[in-house]
Each structure stands twice: as structure tokens, then as C-alpha cells.
Amino acid sequence: MTEEITARKKTALSGIQPSGNLTIGNYLGALSNFGSFTEEFNCYYCVVDLHSITVRQVPAELRRRTYEVLALYIACGLDPDKCTLFVQSHVHEHAELSWMLSCFTMFGELSRMTQFKDKSAKHADNINAGLFTYPVLMAADILLYQADAVPIGQDQKQHLELARDIAERFNGVFSPTFTVPEPYIPKVGANIMSLAEPTKKMSKSDANENAVVRILDTRDVIIKKFKRAVTDSDTCVRRAEGKDGINNLMTIYSCFTGKSFDEIEREFDGRGYGDFKAAVGEVCADGLAPVQARFSELMADKAYLEEVMKNGAEKASRTASKTVAKVKRKLGFVTL
Ligand code: AQP
């Protein structure tokens, strides 16, 4: 009976790259929503280290951040006994399925990916093939586990749509093999913008430290960064077209307090931007404080984090190997 129920439970999967210290964009757009899936879904959350090497990484930093992202998953409330937490490179099927799926992905499709265009412009000296085929690896991550739901921020929507197209194409050429995944994008917080250039997304790899608020920034730093946030020449805290900086700060305030935009406008009626920016800093620092405290405890226990990684990799491999075996059979590979 229990097995039957487990078999019918839907699957959710998501991942975060250890390509920099995580920002409140990663937190509000993705990480903070992961926990809400654990009751209803079989959840797989991975640290996608293979993805991160599409951009040059310092090996020691990549290693440290891999532990940190895993610790942040747990610090944000993900229970390793209730969901599968693992590191992508520990499950070799990700790379294997990625190759097979790349033969079902068109050059033109990959050429249209806006993240490829943005990252090529940003890293003009290193436009490598991995940067181009990144969305195929992401499709493999998702399709390996037959994920029904993929919680992501707005910037990953195009990649998710491609994963759906690849799944449908493969299912159409052969027989149904992959579950076609649905994106889960939060209503508020799916697109947190840079504090320095509010028309641009907040990214963990941004070289301008004032543009990003990191989950692990200290209270003082968080408050200082919000005080410096770029706004406009108006003085009234209200949402409007063209007020990108204020719109972004209102979104962040709303995410941390649960207040609607109307409520925020009423709360700050007659008060200036200075007051508002200070308040955003306070609620953000308050919201992150428990995560930071739990994170410090977890980072002091590397052996525990390694045990979580090991158990997670074993659990993930069991599902991933079944999918790869099925795909190989359908493709006509000889199995021994
Ligand atoms: N600014 C953002 N607002 C909302 N959601 C965001 N996400 C990223 N930035 C924002 C979501 O975080 C999850 C993990 O992202 P990722 O690490 O896989 O890669 P990314 O989307 O490329 O994130 P970054 O921070 O911009 O990393 P770098 O600088 O390395 O490229 C995803 O669900 C993403 O939508």
C-alpha cells in the first residue's frame, strides 16, 4: 500500500549552480519555494556543479561552494530524510543522458536561448560548447527523474520550455519515455533585479558587489547595500512603469513580509525613499538571520554534509540509471 502511494506521488526537481555566493534572487526565486513541494511531491534538489564549469571557476572555491549550497538547502528547511539532496557530478547519468538528448536538440533552438546570448557577451573570451549546450544538460537533469514540476525563477523558463520540447520530440519519435515537466514560477519574486541596474537580473556572478544581496551577507552589509540601491527622482513609494528600482524593492519587501503592494504603498505613504530602503534592509536581514544561523552550524559539520551527499547520490542514481537504461533500449543500444 505504502509503495503504491509512493509510486503515484508526483516528482519535483530543481537545482542551483555553485557558481558564486547565492543571492536573494536565488533565494526568493527558487530556494525559498523548494520546501513547499516536499509534502506533495517526491523531491530531488541538486547542486548543479557540472553546469557551473561553463564559466571558469577557481577549483577550491567551487569545492567550497558545493558544500555551501548543500548546507543552504538544509538551512532553508529541506530535510534530507524527506527529499533527495545531491550533487550533480556524483550521478554520472546526467552527463550520459545529456549526450543522448543533444542528438534530439536542434542547433537553431540552442542559438535562440537568451542566457547563451547574455553569457557569450559577458564571457566573450570563453564561448565554449558547454555554454551552448547548457540547456540540454538541464533537460537531462529534469527528464532523468521524470519530474512533473520544476520550481524555477523567470530566467529559466525558456530552458524549461526547451526541456519540454526535447521530451515531446523523443516521446514522439519513440514511445512515451519522459514525463513532460511543468515550470513552477512564483507569482512574486521570480525576477529579482540588480540593485545597481534594476533593469538587469540580480546574478550571483555579478562583479559589482553593490548590485547583489547575498544570502550570507551580514546584517550591516545588507542594510548598507539597500541604502545604496538605485531608485529614481520621484519620492513616492508606489509601483509604476519606469520605476524599476522601487518596483524591485517593493517586490523584495513583499516577499519578506507577505504584504501586498497596496499595503506597502499605504505603509510608506508620505515617507521618503530613505525610510523605505532602510525598512527593506531590515526585513531582508531579519528574514535571512535564521537561515544564516543554521548554515553556520551545518558548515561546522562537513562529515554530516558528506553523508547527505552520499545518500542523496545513491538515491538519485537508482532512479537515474533506470531512465538511462530505458533510453538506451529505445535508441537501440546493445545491453549486456
Ligand atoms: N534574480 C533572480 N530572481 C529570481 N530567481 C532567480 N534565479 C536566479 N537569479 C534569480 C533562480 O535561481 C535558481 C538557480 O539559478 P542558477 O544557479 O541555476 O543559475 P542562474 O539562473 O544563472 O542564476 P545566477 O544567480 O544568475 O547565476 P550565474 O550568475 O552563475 O549565472 C534558478 O531557478 C533561477 O531561475
Q: 203 C-alpha vs ligand 1 centroid, how far in Å?
A: 6
Beta bridge partners of 193: 201
**90 and 216 housed in the same domain:** no
Output the ligand 1 site: residues, CB below 6 A. Answer: 16-17, 19-20, 23, 25-26, 29-30, 152-153, 155-156, 190-192, 201-205
Q: Report the nearest atom of ligand 1 relative to the CA of 190.
A: 4
With beta carbons less than 8 A apart as the criterion, state whether 211 and 24 touch: no
Q: Does 2 have pLDDT greater than 50?
A: no
Name the domain count of the chain.
Answer: 2
pTM: 0.94
Q: Report the nearest atom of ligand 1 relative to the CA of 193.
A: 1
Q: Could you read off the pLDDT of 133-184 as tens digits, one per residue? A: 999 999 999 999 999 999 999 999 999 999 999 999 999 999 999 999 999 9
**90 and 213 housed in the same domain:** no
- Kindly state whether residue 308 falls inside one of the protein's structural domains: yes
Q: Which structural domain range is residue 283 located in?
A: 209-296
Q: Could you read off the pLDDT of 272-296 as tens digits, one per residue? A: 999 999 999 999 999 999 999 999 9
**310 and 283 housed in the same domain:** no
**33 and 152 housed in the same domain:** yes
- Kindly state whether residue 17 falls inside one of the protein's structural domains: yes
Q: Quote the CA–CA distance of 205 and 196 in Å, as a whole number.
A: 14
The grid coordinates of residue 48 equal 548543479
Burial class for 150, CB neighbours closer than 10 Å (0-12, 13-18, 19+):
buried
Beta bridge partners of 13: 44
Query: What local confidence, expressed as pLDDT, does residue 7 receive?
Result: 58
Task: Tell me the average pLDDT across 6-26.
Answer: 91
Q: 325 C-alpha vs ligand 1 centroid, how far in Å?
A: 31
Q: 205 C-alpha vs ligand 1 centroid, how far in Å?
A: 10
**143 and 46 housed in the same domain:** yes
**325 and 283 housed in the same domain:** no
As a whole number of Å, the end-to-end CA separation of the chain is 34
Residues annotated as part of the active site: 119, 201, 204
Average pLDDT, the chain: 96
Query: What local confidence, expressed as pLDDT, does residue 235 receive?
Result: 87
Give the CATH number of the domain where residue 49 resides. Answer: 3.40.50.620
**149 and 236 housed in the same domain:** no
Give the CATH number of the domain where residue 291 resides. Answer: 1.10.240.10
**173 and 47 housed in the same domain:** yes
Q: Quote the CA–CA distance of 261 and 271 in Å, as a whole number.
A: 15
Q: Report the nearest atom of ligand 1 relative to the CA of 17.
A: 17
Q: Where are the alpha helices (DSSP H) in the chain?
A: 2-8, 24-26, 32-34, 49-52, 59-75, 93-102, 107-111, 114-122, 129-144, 157-173, 219-227, 244-257, 261-267, 273-299, 302-331
Q: Does 82 have pLDDT greater than 50?
A: yes
Instruction: Tell me the CA distances in angstroms from 93 to 15, 51, 100, 103, 325, one per residue in order.
Output: 16, 14, 11, 16, 10
CA angle 170, 165, 188 (to 5 degrees): 140
Closest CA to 279 of 235, 249, 242, 255: 249
- Kindly state whether residue 312 falls inside one of the protein's structural domains: yes
Q: Does 5 have pLDDT greater than 50?
A: no
**221 and 183 housed in the same domain:** no
Residue nearest to atom 24 of ligand 1 (CA): 203
**26 and 88 housed in the same domain:** yes
- Kindly state whether residue 336 falls inside one of the protein's structural domains: no
**84 and 138 housed in the same domain:** yes
Q: What is the rounded radius of gyration, in angstroms, for the C-alpha atoms of the chain? A: 21
Closest CA to 318 of 117, 84, 156: 84
Instruction: Tell me the CA distances in angstroms from 217 to 23, 52, 225, 258, one per residue in order.
Output: 9, 22, 10, 22
Q: Report the nearest atom of ligand 1 relative to the CA of 156.
A: 35
- Kindly state whether residue 198 falls inside one of the protein's structural domains: no
Residue nearest to atom 10 of ligand 1 (CA): 25
Query: What local confidence, expressed as pLDDT, does residue 1 receive?
Result: 40
Q: Could you read off the pLDDT of 191-233 as tens digits, one per residue? A: 999 999 999 999 998 999 999 999 999 999 999 999 999 999 9
Q: 202 C-alpha vs ligand 1 centroid, how far in Å?
A: 8
**281 and 308 housed in the same domain:** no
